[in-house]
Structure 1
């Protein structure tokens, strides 16, 4: 596969856009407003909000500002920019999606593509009242590759700069769409073979006027930088990796800005020109979680449940070359601390104040000191927690963990584990998406609906 596989298409307009008269929030590309949640896991990819005022309790009949049904299937998270909420989904033109079972299991691989036409869609809602303002079909056609029954064709979360939404659909394309639903540019992506045809999931990220995304696959993996104004390639760096599903992270540390890309073969850091800065090995055989930074450290995890290696790494800035740990070592000049068997599989970890919290897929919960890695409390069973895929979020001294059944478990932060209560929402399909938080509102996606939760 070469970069020439990408093809640009001319911009096209949504014919309904002129009827919508939407209020567009004007700000420079790449700017961040404190009230916005414009990427996966929010500002700095941490999942933490210090001044949120959304309610602690909710249900189908309590503190629901609005609820909108969502057709099709998509595990992508909602994002919020100004008074607009954006999500993606893929809708079948006929028939129904095969039901996905909750939990971790074998037997979900699908080797053949379905003979069905799909619509890859971007939806825009008004934050205040939930009105669906527009739906843009970015691509229609038969699926180019199979998918694991528990994956979707809309698993990548879009990202926004406050003026445009950038949408990645793995084997289909990359799109820039303005807030009126007009497609500014389109870049077609060739289908790529993933491990066991599980499909894609890594989301794009923004920094200044560049869009970065990773395509780690079985054919030819790469990290790419795209000009947000034109969709043109800025650079592409080939990667000696096979399939991974981890979203890259832009780490602005005390010494420089780095692009962090976890991987099963090697986790790597690149500069903004795509040049390799440093790397290290030791991940599990499947890498999914999103990295992030806190207390001046970078946290990278990889935790396939079937492996003995399920590491959490905390790294200091300024590394170069190969910084892999020697046998039996738990730290070195650049790795502040390391836990060899502590990482979750699907969820990302989260740091709130001085503690790092770990939500495990099968309903366990643990905590470590964020700066040292010392154990705060070992794995605790979340009562009736069952199965978790979405990453936890934190606000006002509480951690929130959404399971695949639409239940959110509210856990007190601190040195002792304490489950406070559980908030239940209905969901006929699996709830797999991490929510967005904007001040007094929590935007939560279950398998078949989008909720705005707020005091009511």
Structure 2
């Protein structure tokens, strides 16, 4: 993560693929799982008084990102009798060790109306007392849901529960894959991934790590593979490139590409140092990923379709399929984003920009007066957006020269990654969800 030991992202080959209308935002980081919008379709300026269409309180605690299907917004949350909220970075530093819950929590999926924020329905998925403590800056509902347009699939890793719910709030099926202890008791955070009729769950923990594929219609297991990785918080990424489709899983010290259909290992890159907090990004040709430990920045790596076998990362002699690597270029919690010919990485209050083809660094510049940044970045053709935990959002000009072209502010605590649909930006804070729209 940042300065303490809290380590928490369909492409056509060679091009960005973006939904023409962005009518839906079906998963963590959008239609392609990479935070790229194409053309800007939400206001570039907002505040508590400007372009704020509505705000809606959300009970309990949850860093899960909102997802959008048509005019419906879906969010998950975990609610106790005290309506406990997560702490920010400073509060987390002062209270490093979380406490085990002393009562059952209500694990919920909530549907809101995109137009006015009104609650359409709430579905209680489970009422259960988690076995393990989490870091006070984390939540018991950090994994983002995903949708196939017919059902919403939600995952509460702290109790091991996965559920499929219809768009009208009917529970279709539930599966329990088990709850496990996390590294240093920091909790969980890997969101779901979806490809066609298969749901993918990365469960890297400190006891029994695995990746599992479930049938979306029934919840039945299609395949499951044990993993040697310990706790990691990165989310699975579906990487479609010119040679095949890989399910990319970033673990502790390894990055693995699985065949989504069978679970067969297509390739595994080793010696990637510490566990991953941020999720991968892609420009449609290469995939970009990296990590950082609590006290030092880790590597930033660009991988191409030619990767195969079990190469070992060596920045002095790159193996086949590793296009370039920067020993001290990895992201913190916020997942990187690619736009045009550049990949943008945020770590320790700095924004860095690299050429996607060569890895040459265009700049590394400090974000002025920024707080801790956990929410993943998003970008269009002309801008890169970053939001720190205090609600300050930086609008940076895309390209090789660092220029902040705007700053926006909301009054809440923000670690959740935003969601975007045509003309609308949704920002989830610890207390409310905010709808940004031209007015």
Q: Would the TM-score normalized by the shorter structure come out above 0.5?
A: yes
1:416 positional shift? 1.2
Query: Does the 8 Å CA contact 1:109/1:147 hold for their aligned counterparts?
Result: no
Measure the CA separation in 2 of the matches of 1:395 and 1:117. Answer: 42
Indicate which of 187, 202, 220 corresponds to 1:199. Answer: 187
2:271 counterpart of 1:285: no
Query: Does the 8 Å CA contact 1:217/1:244 hold for their aligned counterparts?
Result: yes
Say which is worse superposed, 204-213 or 393-402, in terms of deviation.
393-402
Alpha-carbon displacement from aligned partner over 1:289-347 (angstroms, at most 9, x marks no partner): 11132141111211224136x11111111322112234622x33210000110112101
Alignment-derived partner of residue 412 in structure 1: 397
Indicate which of 328, 331, 340 corresponds to 2:327. Answer: 340
Query: Does the 8 Å CA contact 2:92/2:137 hold for their aligned counterparts?
Result: no
Alignment-derived partner of residue 183 in structure 1: 171
Alignment-derived partner of residue 304 in structure 1: 293
Q: Closer, same or farther in 2 for the Cα pair 1:344/1:200, shift >3 Å?
A: same
Q: Closer, same or farther in 2 for the Cα pair 1:349/1:111, shift >3 Å?
A: closer
Measure the CA separation in 1 of the matches of 2:435 and 2:324. Answer: 39
Measure the CA separation in 2 of the matches of 1:328 and 1:395. Answer: 34
Alpha-carbon displacement from aligned partner over 1:64-96 (angstroms, at most 9, x marks no partner): 11211111111111111111111111111x225
1:106 positional shift? 4.6
2:397 counterpart of 1:397: no
Structure 2, unaligned runs of 5 or more: 1-18
Which of structures 1 and 2 has the bigger CA Rg?
A: 1
Alpha-carbon displacement from aligned partner over 1:404-454 (angstroms, at most 9, x marks no partner): 011111111122111122111111xx2101101111111111111111111
SS of alignment partner, residue 129 of structure 1: coil
SS of alignment partner, residue 45 of structure 1: coil
Alpha-carbon displacement from aligned partner over 1:9-47 (angstroms, at most 9, x marks no partner): xxxxxxxxxxxxxxxxxxxxxx99742110100021111
Query: Does the 8 Å CA contact 1:55/1:454 hold for their aligned counterparts?
Result: yes
Measure the CA separation in 1 of the matches of 2:37 and 2:275. Answer: 29
Q: Closer, same or farther in 2 for the Cα pair 1:98/1:444, shift >3 Å?
A: closer
Query: Does the 8 Å CA contact 2:85/2:430 hold for their aligned counterparts?
Result: no
SS of alignment partner, residue 322 of structure 1: coil
1:268 positional shift? 0.6
Alignment-derived partner of residue 351 in structure 1: 338
Alpha-carbon displacement from aligned partner over 1:359-407 (angstroms, at most 9, x marks no partner): 22x3211111011100111x21111112111111112411111110111
Measure the CA separation in 2 of the matches of 1:396 and 1:294. Answer: 12
Query: Does the 8 Å CA contact 1:352/1:394 hold for their aligned counterparts?
Result: yes
Instruction: Name the structure, 1 or 2, with higher relative contact order (CA <8 Å, separation 6+).
Output: 2
Q: Closer, same or farther in 2 for the Cα pair 1:101/1:441, shift >3 Å?
A: closer
Indicate which of 121, 124, 128 corresponds to 2:111. Answer: 124
TM-score for the superposition, normalised by structure 2: 0.91
Query: Does the 8 Å CA contact 1:284/1:307 hold for their aligned counterparts?
Result: no
Alignment-derived partner of residue 258 in structure 1: 246
Alpha-carbon displacement from aligned partner over 1:255-284 (angstroms, at most 9, x marks no partner): 111110011131111112101111112323
Indicate which of 20, 23, 42 corresponds to 2:30. Answer: 42
Query: Does the 8 Å CA contact 1:44/1:292 hold for their aligned counterparts?
Result: no
2:411 counterpart of 1:423: no
Query: Does the 8 Å CA contact 1:171/1:191 hold for their aligned counterparts?
Result: yes
Q: CA RMSD in A?
A: 1.8
2:264 counterpart of 1:275: yes
Alignment-derived partner of residue 244 in structure 1: 232
1:51 positional shift? 2.7
2:354 counterpart of 1:371: no
Measure the CA separation in 1 of the matches of 2:128 and 2:20. Answer: 35
Indicate which of 108, 115, 130 corresponds to 2:102. Answer: 115
Measure the CA separation in 1 of the matches of 2:236 and 2:254. Answer: 13
1:99 positional shift? 5.5
Measure the CA separation in 2 of the matches of 1:129 and 1:353. Answer: 34
How many residues matched? Answer: 419
SS of alignment partner, residue 89 of structure 2: coil
Alignment-derived partner of residue 450 in structure 1: 433
Alignment-derived partner of residue 142 in structure 1: 129
1:210 positional shift? 0.3
Structure 1, unaligned runs of 5 or more: 1-30
TM-score for the superposition, normalised by structure 1: 0.88
Q: Closer, same or farther in 2 for the Cα pair 1:382/1:103, shift >3 Å?
A: farther
SS of alignment partner, residue 292 of structure 2: coil
